[in-house]
Structures are given as structure tokens and as C-alpha cells.
Structure 1
Amino acid sequence: MTDHPYTNADLRATAAEIIATAIQEITPSEIADRMDRTHVQSTNPSDGNRRTWGQLLNGGDQDTTEFLAARQQIDDLIRDAADVSEWAIQVGAAGLTPRPAMAWQSTSGGYQVALQVAPANDLLPAARDELIAEIRAAVDQTVCRVLHCKPASEAA
């Protein structure tokens, strides 16, 4: 029992709900404002060519057609996003750091399963990399066995 009339689980559940709600309630105007301040990842910072969405897509004639199309695609991605807010709060509260997600695609092109691992920050890089590789191998074997498919290395 704590000195408060709520638990850590209550705090985490509310934090997850706030994140989920904030994402669901973002407006197209807010997306456009953030795009104007966000650099496009594929623009190269090493050659000084790093640009925001507005710089990249709003040409000298201020034709915003491409910018608005990109904003709509980002809005669609946000609306279709899986609600992982609870997972994000739990991982952060545990002091873990998410690594890039892994996904298994079927031969028909659709994805069958995805996994994201969040190891402890104090793992040595070699141990972290080996752990993630072993998890990937185990899940790969299981996905192939359960879904009756060949491993990616044999499918090519």
C-alpha cells in the first residue's frame, strides 16, 4: 500500500490513455504545423541539405498540393496506428529502450506478426545484439512452423 489513494498502475493507465487520446485527437492543422518544424528523415544532414516538410514540398510558387497530400498520408497513418500507448508507458517506467521493430511478411505481401523488443539500457551492446538476434531467430522459427512458411533465408 502507498501513501497515495492511487497506485502506480493507476498512474500508468492514465498516462497511456492521455497519449492515446492526444494521438487520436490531433487535427490536420496541428499535423501541418508539426510538419513545418520536422525535418524529413531522408534529407541528408551531412551535406547541409536537411529540410523540413514545408521546405521540401512548398516550392517557390507556394503550390501546397504535395504538402497537403503528404499531410493527408501522415494523418491516415496516425488514424490507422495501433494503440501501443500502454506498452510505451510500461517500457519507459521499467527504464527499457525500444529497439527497431521486427516484422514477418507472408508471401502474399501482408504482414503476419510484428515484435518490438525493449532491452535494459545497461546491457553491453554485444549482449543486447545477441539477445535480439536470438529472439528474432526463435520467433522466425515459430512463425514459420505455425504458419507453414519457409524462413526468409530459404524463400529467396
Structure 2
Amino acid sequence: MAHLIPPFTRATAQQKVKIAQALWNTKDPVRVARAYTPDSVWRNRDSFVQGTAEIERFLAAKWAAERDYVLRKELFAFGDNRIAVQFWYEWRNAAGQWHRTYGLEHWTFAADGAMAKRQMSGNDVPIAPEERWFNEGVDVDAVEIGPSHW
């Protein structure tokens, strides 16, 4: 698969979304942070993050708190160097309470295909274990990701 760079088509935007989904499901802050420009700017709910080191710290703390995290992203809209996604993910907190988070993200990409800006809004809903959508062994649209895909 070729490196996915703007301007995006429906097909390349869809590929970019599914690769991002697979990458985030690794829960590897260092690997995920490499998909962003060194000076990438984020708004994640009420947190503002800039640069690779801050992204790595943010993600490490996120996945330490959001245990058993499983994410699904879907293409919402796209244009030239921008992609919007809707997403939902499930996780449990330290007390064992399961949650499903629903939200939207708006991404802006640099010419090389790395993400320069990410804005996320999300809402957490407590759920009972039997309400979970993502159970052990569920394949969340698995795709193979490599260094040249992002």
C-alpha cells in the first residue's frame, strides 16, 4: 500500500481512518505518536497537547486509565488535507466500571501525510459488562499497519 498523502480521495481517506484505528488499538504511545508531525497540535476534550513528547505522555496516561481499550473509527467526511471521523470505544476504569466513549475527531494533515492537527470531542457513557459491543476476540476491522502506511 502506498503512503497515504493529501489530497485524499474517498478510498484513501477510508484507508487512513482504518490505519489510524489499527494504530490506536496497539495502545503503543511511541508508535502512535510517530503518525503525527513533531509539532502536532491536539485538543482532546479539555486537554491541549503539542508535540511528540506531550502526545506520548498523554497517550501513556490515557491507556493506563482506560483499561482494555478497544476502538472503532468510521469516516465521516473528508476534503483535500482533512478528514473527520466518528468513533466509539470501550474501556474500563480502575474500579472495573465499563464505559463506551462516543465522539468526533477532525484531522488536518501535512503534505507528507503526518497529522498536524487533531481535535477530539467525546462523551463517556457507563455501561454494564453485558452491554459491551467489543468482547474478547472481536476483530475490529483489523488491518495490517506498517511504517509507510500513515
TM over 0.5: no
TM-score by length of structure 2 reads 0.26
Flag the structure with larger Rg.
Answer: 1
**Which structure shows the bigger proportion of residues in helix conformation?**
1
TM-score by length of structure 1 reads 0.25
**Which structure shows the bigger proportion of residues in strand conformation?**
2
